[in-house]
Structure 1
Amino acid sequence: MVTISFPTTQGVLLAGGLARRMGGGDKPMRTIGGRTILERVIARLSPQCSGLILNANGDPARFAAFGLQVVADDVPGFPGPLAGILAALDWTAANRPEAKWVLSAAGDCPFLPRDLVARLHDERIAANAELAVAASGGQSHPVIGLWRVGLRDELRHALVVEDLRKIDRWTARYPLATVTWPTEPLDPFFNANTVEDIAEAERLAALDAAS
């Protein structure tokens, strides 16, 4: 484990989606270059976080081989990634009280930056922001960001009472730092949404290994 110089940060991998564009199933379990996408995400984030949990719904036993605590949404109806973020904030408050921040990342992004957590914290502090999200190629990636555990009650109210679903509508309520990464030699936030994306990911994995 490397020494980290930013606040203690719990990581959550969001794998609660229904993978409709893949014909169902768990996208993070697809294989790229002989390793599952989830293995690649864990390898990228483990050195950056004080611990990792997995947000997923359904039978948690299917993820047993990865050795991560699986935390399901506690808001019914698959309301989207905000529910997974809320579940992670609640779990962290109960189980890792020393961690005041949660880093969320999509479980289907195999090439995440190795400096993701450090840069998000640096920019958040510099901007005196409440939240921080990643961006690349002129596009924000709100699923990949830093969330203050102390905002969990406000997030629960937005989800349950206001029926709010879009992450960027919630982040717009707070001072927000947006941190941009280059897209060469590859976009670190490439995600495998379709069967065709898996083929592209195989090509990118070779570039990633060489970078």
Structure 2
Amino acid sequence: MVESDGSPRTPREPITGVILAGGLARRMGRVDKGLQLLDGKPLVQWVAERFAPQVEQLLVNANQNATDYATLGYSVIADLVPGFAGPLAGLHAALAHASHSLVAAVPCDSPFLPADLVARLHTAMVMTGSDVATARTFDQPQPAFCLCRRELLPQLAEFLAGGEHKMALWYRTLRAVHVAFDDEAAAFRNINTSGELARCAHKTK
């Protein structure tokens, strides 16, 4: 693995983005987390408003309530791997549907994600010649925030077929760079429970 500060200096090629909203939200009572309201807007909408300006194509990975997600105006794609296999299955679906050779992913429960996320991941990827760039805040990996090459689809399909579903384990099989976002650590706060959702409400104002 390679460490990098990923400073955003490198001009970049077009990128497909995907919001990962295909989980079961077990810690939130198995509701559809991306559709839960934060100050009157679904979590997924907060994420899309920050993420869409950073990419040329935006997809939403959802395995239920596709019609509701489609109201955002972006293509909705379901996992190609059965059984709610987690964010890695959502990334797999995005690699299969992406129009561009690079794919960036973010979770649907991080409404404050950095506005320079994709630029910094891309810079680190180019500088290091990596297959995938992932975010890190201090000593905490943030594997669901990543940028990877579409050509990794066959490797990822094989990894999932072997019964593995953890993003961090897959990254270990690749040339990966961890990009430090210590200066924006609060932007990676995610919402896993209804209590956290309530506490985050005032932060959007």
Match for 1:89 among 84, 92, 95?
95
1:116-145 CA-partner distances (Å, limit 9, x unpaired): 000001111122211100111421111110
Does residue 1:139 correspond to 2:140, yes or no?
A: yes
* Structure 1 partner of 2:112: 111
Query: For residues 1-211 of structure 1, what are the structure 2 equivalents within 5 Å?
Result: 5-92=11-98, 96=99, 99-160=100-161, 162-182=162-182, 187-206=186-205
Distance 2:57 2:97 in 1: 12
Give every structure 1 segment of 4 or more consecutive aligned residues whose post-TM-superposition deviation is greater than 6 Å.
none
The TM-score, its normalising length taken from structure 2, stands at 0.90
CA distance in 2, matches of 1:74, 1:34: 31
Distance 2:204 2:139 in 1: 22
Deviation string 1:164-206 (CA, Å, 9 cap, x unpaired) is 111111100112111121366x611111101111122123324
Q: Are the counterparts in 2 of residues 110 and 191 from structure 1 also a CA contact under 8 Å?
A: yes
Matched residue type, 2:170: W
* Percent of aligned positions that are identical: 36
What is the Cα deviation at residue 39 of structure 1?
1.3
| Residue aligned with 2:186, SS | coil
Letter paired with 2:160: L
Distance 1:59 1:36, change over 3 A: closer
SS in 2 for 1:153: helix
Distance 1:145 1:201 in 2: 24
* Cα RMSD for the two superposed structures: 1.6
- Give the drift of 1:64: 2.7
**2:63 & 2:14 partners in 1: Cα distance?**
26
Report the TM-score, using the length of structure 1 for normalisation: 0.88
**Whole-Å separation in 1 of the counterparts to 2:32 and 2:54:** 24
- Work out whether residues 131 and 175 of structure 1, in 8 Å CA contact, stay in contact via their aligned partners in 2: yes
- Aligned to 1:58, the other structure's residue is in SS state coil
What residue identity is the alignment partner of 1:189? F
Q: Measure the CA separation in 2 of the matches of 1:64 and 1:48.
A: 20
- Number of matched pairs: 196
Indicate the residue corresponding to 1:209 in structure 2: none
- Structure 1 unmatched runs, 5+: 207-211
Q: Output the CA distance in 2 between the equivalents of 1:198 and 1:204.
A: 10
In structure 2, C-alpha distance between the alignment counterparts of 1:130 and 1:147, rounded to whole Å:
6
Give how far 1:26 is off.
1.4
Counterpart-to-counterpart distance in 2, 1:156 and 1:69: 22
1:81 CA drift (Å): 1.1
Q: Distance in 2 between matches of 1:12 and 1:19?
A: 18
1:36 Cα deviation (Å)?
2.1
Structure 2 unpaired stretches of 5+: 1-9
